[in-house]
A and B are shown apart, each in its own frame.
Chain A
Amino acid sequence: MGHCISMKPSAKMAKLVPLLAVFFYLVCVSEAVFEDQVGKFDWRRQYVGKVLFASFDSPSQSSKKLFVATDKNIFASLNSRTGDLFWRHVDKMGPEGAVDTLLVNAQDALMVIGDGRLLRSWDTNVGGLNWEVVLDTGSFQAACFVGIQDTVKHVAVLKKTAISLHYLSNGHQKWVENLPDSDTVKYQAVYSGGGEEVFVLGMVPHSHLTITVYSLEDGEIIRQRSVEAPWLSSVESSCVVVGRGVLMCVDNYTQALYTLAIQAEDSPQFRQVLLQSLDLEVSQDFQPVLVSTQPHPARSPLPEFFLQLGPDHHILLQLSEDGSTIAPLRDFQPAFLVSFATTGEKTVAAVMAPKNTTACAVNLFSADSGRRLLDTTVIFPLDANGGKPQKLYVHAFLKKDDSVGYRVLVQTEDHALTFIQQPGRVVWTREEALADVVTMEMVDLPLTGTQAELEGEFGKKAAIQDGLLPMVMKRLSSQVILLQAWMAHLWKLFYEARKPRSQIKNEVTIETLSRDEFNLQKMMVMVTASGKLFGIDSKSGTILWKHYLENVQPNAAFKLIVQRTTAHFPHPPQCTLLIKDKDTGLATLHVFNPIFGRKSQISLPALPRPILQSLLLPVIDQDYAKCLLLVDDQYKVTAFPSTKNVMQQLQEMASSIFFYLVDSEQGTLSGFRLRKDLSSELIWEVVLPTEVQKIVAVKGKRPSEHVHSQGRVMGDRSVLYKYLNPNLLAVVTESTDTHPERAFVGMFLVDGVTGRIIHEAVQRKARGPIHFVHSENWVVYEYWNTKSRRNEFSVLELFEGTELYNSTVFSSLDRPHLPQVLQQSYIFPSPITTMEATLTEKGITSRHLLVGLPSGAILSLPKMFLDPRRPEVVNEHSREENLIPYAPEMPIRTEWFINYNQTISRLKGIYTAPSGLESTCLVVAYGLDIYQTRVYPSKQFDVLKDDYDYVLISSVLFALFFATMISKRLAEVKLLNRAWR
């Protein structure tokens, strides 16, 4: 994996020593992958987010494309056979890139973006941009295709104050007209039924509806009508156009349908049809919804439409040809979701109804008659760990025998997309919740599945209940099972060895999960913003389990805590998810087994008060679960688990349990000590006045981190000891004054137990966003230099000096001397999005910083380059110590990108976990995509290379062995001969 850098031998070598030193390091740390290693240790999954609009390509059986626009401002095309992405366009984050609407017509996909900022047309075949036009200002209301004589040539975009018509071919504006009385009238819908007219519907709530008819040719107002409608509150939510230009509205208060012919020349009136007269009734507290369909934009909509009367009650209605009567065609109850689909001249209605507790059935009905089409049932399996179906997209097509076939795309509450084919085969599922991972943990896998089963039998309880003989029998049988498992394993090995490598398919299932030799395969537990939890195999990226938590607020904050690891056999590992409502602060706990995803049957503590802080103590109960403390807003502490054992330990340790709280609103950092009665007392307080600066982030160190070396050996063979305070907090502040000359970034290092400010530094002329890593005895942070307008890195390192104060144990209460602080800054030639440090089992391997760049690349930057002891002037000591001479600019080398071309869109976080190999660190990067790989900061010093020549080494060994044997024999013969002489 090394990159060789050839150097011309030169007579001036001596002068080049510093340069050489740099080169030496570059050779050392280069870690690009070889071509054949691509995808071997890493994988990437790409997501699009929650689907807002979906559309199928063409109504033929062979079409494979599916277009989606999502809440993550993405327009993508999916392969409907596999669920893979054909292409994906990632727009700006936030409201600027939000997709307002998606209209698909043949080869063109039109999108209005950023609340009516842009109108874009995409070529659906290749995903290229046809054109893009900037629309006039004004918030977006509606858009529709406008066609005449069966061809669609224009698109109309309705804004709050204006309507504009654009050519479909090039986006040029045909005309734009201001809407009359736009300050009083709310314009909400635009409609075209294939004629020369464009209808704009507006209304004054609870007063009247206005119909403005524009000429397609020049945008002239042909006529304007105003219709009394005191019951109308929104055209958008309660009205649709049905049949030949009949506006159909539903009102909940009067329990009636209203119809109005909008094309009428004379002054029209709404006609009221009471729901009672149709024998219909709206469910309580339900806002009825109308659904109509316009199969072709250049033709008028169909006279059939759906009326939803309750959460599971739909009715298919038909408007008579003359628009005078409404007749119910078919009543669907229970039915969750309905959808229209058109293929050729046929329009069908798909209805999803519950079948039993584990499945739903989708059936097709002829739209014009309401008759059920034969053999069209599709079973949609309801996942107990998923959400309820939310949306139904139907792709109907004509089969060879002219009957209607279809496929369905079902979107569920947990943002999952399921594509189903007749007669109920799930073709693929996409878990789009993973596009927004909030937090994650990696958990070791259990030793082996069979072993786990066995050990379960020999639990404590079993031992007490059973006698001696059954125990012996059990042991024997278990040994037999073990032997069987071993034989099976051997057989599998032998069988697989004969097959070529490419054919071996490693199907990972939850049953076959077991820890590998070097603990490289782990379970990734991912928590997503939608409240869905995932268990993903880190080796293959397969989703092994999922669990959807209902009733999670959209703005909830999550914290995932591993309370018990896999190490405490036979107790299953245990993870706890703390879900906190950001508004009320109230929290709930979800306790589950991270390997199988099952919810644990543990009694949870009642948490009636808002939770401020949670901390995991090293205190272990009799079941080896670490104790979690939750601090509420009255500084009372709740322990979980709260068994007698734990409470006893807590009481004993209370005086040495300290915790801190941060209130960034007030700028206070306060420390508390636990009392024996689980209340707490304030013991220190640091207040950063909010007029000057505000706290933006506080980070401690990762508790799982190991530091192998206590100090650094210097050039003169003395040791500089590191200041390794496990309670140290890095507090980052930003100035309230944002003027580039006066803005600053503050870095405070505070002891979390005593509240002592260990160091305070101010980076002048700097502002955020700040990304920082706090580890070992160093803090690395990145900021924006407002004066030089560039990104800079700064590193702080803390040393105790050449002597340790107390080398046996570290106590925050007994460290009177402040550490020496060294700091150095560097220019970094790129902005960054996130930063994390590598982590290894024992901390022997040198550290790298994993820097996520906006381009989606992850840079593995050796910590060696961020060392405040890098000398300005090279001398013998620094050379001895292998310090790189100081250079103000940090290099970015392409071979340091650990994800080569597998870029990660909208990178949000990087998670690192140690593996069983000291050299190897597992890395998961998440954002819109998820990427998993391994990094080797000091190269693979404890692993033989892939291309290691076993044959050569063994043949050499054998040759040497035989040589010794032969020479021994010869020597013996010689000795014997000499003795005879």
Chain B
Amino acid sequence: MASGGPSFLLLSMVPTILLLCIDFACCNTGRRTSDGLDTDFTGFSVPLEHSFEVDDVSQFRVRGALQLRGGRETSVSLSQNQLSEEDRSTLKEVAAVDGLYRIRVPRVSLSADRQSDRPMDGFLTAFVRACSLVESHLSDVITLHTDVSGFLIGVSIVTIPGACRGTEVEDEVDLEAFNTTLNVIAPTNAPQPETALFIERMDMENEKRGKPQEQKSFFAKYWMYIVPLVLFLMMSGAQDQSGGGAGGGGANGGR
């Protein structure tokens, strides 16, 4: 599968990703190190980070790792850690004050041939209300949006259900593991004006309507008028020669 070209590219890109990861590790002190660092050589991974603080000052920690497999068909999978006891209580506290649960991913390109490009700095961030995350028992949908050339341009997170009804989540077990659905959405191609189909349809309609009439010649169409006319002319011509005298006689007779 992996030909020489792509693997070379992938090798060249590994240090850059490691660099990125070192950057994150510094904000990660005191927390358990992520296991999302192992790079699969058929793809690569970027950290998915989250932040939920009672004082709403974002402090991002690693939540999991996104395994991105580039190529023609980009596929993404997510491996993520369980929430610790401490995290769970923080999350519940944040939910109680209607705080935000934020996630962020670094700006990367999903397509393989762009990996060698200089990594872009900065992150894409999104949020959801912490209470809705708690009330949905950590079942969320994370969507990664890419542009035409495969760059990640946006990330979004929603929970299902999305509402905050204020229902208490008693069972701690519900808040242990994320139940995440991951999507990657590339831009759809907008349709062009459908000319071919329309012309085809018009042709068909024209054929249906126009065919029998067009093929008839002038004579074929009006023979029923022409033939009696010709006959009449012929008849009258013949009568002129023979009936001239008779007509004159009649007129004389009338006098």
CB atoms of A756 and B127 under 8 A apart = no
Q: How extensive is the interface on chain A, given as a class? A: 35 or more
CB atoms of A761 and B189 under 8 A apart = yes
CB atoms of B162 and A760 under 8 A apart = no
Question: Within residues 744 to 785 of chain A, which ones have a CB less than 8 A from any CB in chain B?
Answer: 744, 746-747, 750, 754-757, 759-764, 785
CB atoms of A756 and B158 under 8 A apart = yes
CA distance A681 to B100 in the complex (A): 11
B residues near A682, Cβ cutoff 8 Å: 125
Q: Considering the complex, give the chain A residue whose CB is closest to the CB of B160.
A: A816
Interface string of A720-756 (1 = CB under 8 A from B): 0000000000000001000000001011001000111
A978 at the interface (CB under 8 A from B): no
- B contact face: mostly helix, strand, loop, or mixed: mixed
If A888-B193, A888-B195 touch, whether A688 touches B147 (CB-CB below 8 Å) is yes
A872 at the interface (CB under 8 A from B): yes
CB atoms of A12 and B209 under 8 A apart = yes
CB atoms of B125 and A760 under 8 A apart = no
Q: Which of B56, B128, B164, B190 contacts A762 (CB 8 A)?
A: B190
A967 smallest CB distance to B (angstroms): 57
CB atoms of A689 and B189 under 8 A apart = no
CB atoms of B148 and A826 under 8 A apart = no
Q: Which of B98, B189, B198 contacts A886 (CB 8 A)?
A: B198
B199 smallest CB distance to A (angstroms): 9
CA distance A873 to B200 in the complex (A): 12
CB atoms of A761 and B153 under 8 A apart = no
Question: Within residues 658 to 706 of chain A, which ones have a CB less than 8 A from any CB in chain B?
Answer: 673, 675, 681-689, 692-693
CB atoms of A755 and B120 under 8 A apart = no
If A692-B151, A755-B156, A757-B145 touch, whether A813 touches B129 (CB-CB below 8 Å) is yes
Q: Considering the complex, give the chain A residue whose CB is closest to the CB of B208.
A: A15
Interface string of B191-208 (1 = CB under 8 A from A): 111110110010000001
A432 at the interface (CB under 8 A from B): no
A827 at the interface (CB under 8 A from B): yes
B80 at the interface (CB under 8 A from A): no
CB atoms of A762 and B124 under 8 A apart = no
CB atoms of A825 and B163 under 8 A apart = no
A826 smallest CB distance to B (angstroms): 5
If A815-B162, A888-B198 touch, whether A685 touches B193 (CB-CB below 8 Å) is no
If A693-B147, A762-B148 touch, whether A757 touches B162 (CB-CB below 8 Å) is no
B residues near A821, Cβ cutoff 8 Å: 188
CA distance A735 to B100 in the complex (A): 35
Q: Considering the complex, give the chain B residue whose CB is closest to the CB of A688.
A: B153
CB atoms of B127 and A684 under 8 A apart = yes
A823 at the interface (CB under 8 A from B): yes
CB atoms of B191 and A825 under 8 A apart = yes
CA distance A686 to B164 in the complex (A): 25
A residues near B245, Cβ cutoff 8 Å: none
CA distance A833 to B145 in the complex (A): 32
B residues near A12, Cβ cutoff 8 Å: 209
B residues near A693, Cβ cutoff 8 Å: 147-148
CB atoms of B132 and A813 under 8 A apart = yes
CB atoms of B191 and A689 under 8 A apart = no
CB atoms of A754 and B191 under 8 A apart = no
CB atoms of B147 and A689 under 8 A apart = yes
CB atoms of B124 and A687 under 8 A apart = yes
B residues near A760, Cβ cutoff 8 Å: 145, 147, 185-188
Interface string of B227-249 (1 = CB under 8 A from A): 00000000000000000000000
B107 at the interface (CB under 8 A from A): yes
CB atoms of B127 and A754 under 8 A apart = yes
Q: Which of A684, A826, A873 contacts B201 (CB 8 A)?
A: A873
Residue of A686, A747, A792, A816 contacting most chain B CB atoms (<10 Å): A816
CB atoms of B194 and A827 under 8 A apart = no
Q: Considering the complex, give the chain B residue whose CB is closest to the CB of A872.
A: B197
Interface string of B71-87 (1 = CB under 8 A from A): 00000000000000000
A824 at the interface (CB under 8 A from B): yes
CA distance A673 to B58 in the complex (A): 13
A814 at the interface (CB under 8 A from B): yes
CA distance A744 to B189 in the complex (A): 10
CB atoms of A689 and B153 under 8 A apart = yes
A903 at the interface (CB under 8 A from B): no
CA distance A692 to B120 in the complex (A): 13
A655 at the interface (CB under 8 A from B): yes
A476 at the interface (CB under 8 A from B): no
CA distance A872 to B161 in the complex (A): 37
If A693-B147, A755-B126, A757-B154 touch, whether A762 touches B197 (CB-CB below 8 Å) is no
Q: Considering the complex, give the chain B residue whose CB is closest to the CB of A755.
A: B126
A residues near B107, Cβ cutoff 8 Å: 687, 689
Q: Considering the complex, give the chain A residue whose CB is closest to the CB of B195.
A: A888
A141 at the interface (CB under 8 A from B): no
A39 smallest CB distance to B (angstroms): 38
CA distance A688 to B126 in the complex (A): 15
Q: Which of B124, B128, B149, B185 contacts A686 (CB 8 A)?
A: B124
B residues near A912, Cβ cutoff 8 Å: none
Additional A-B contacts beyond A735-B148, A750-B154, A813-B132 (17; CB < 8 A): A673-B100, A683-B125, A686-B154, A689-B107, A692-B148, A693-B147, A746-B148, A756-B158, A760-B185, A761-B190, A762-B187, A762-B189, A764-B190, A792-B193, A825-B190, A827-B195, A872-B197
Ranked nearest first, the 5 interchain pairs of A and B with the lowest CB-CB distance are A756-B156, A686-B154, A814-B162, A888-B193, A816-B158
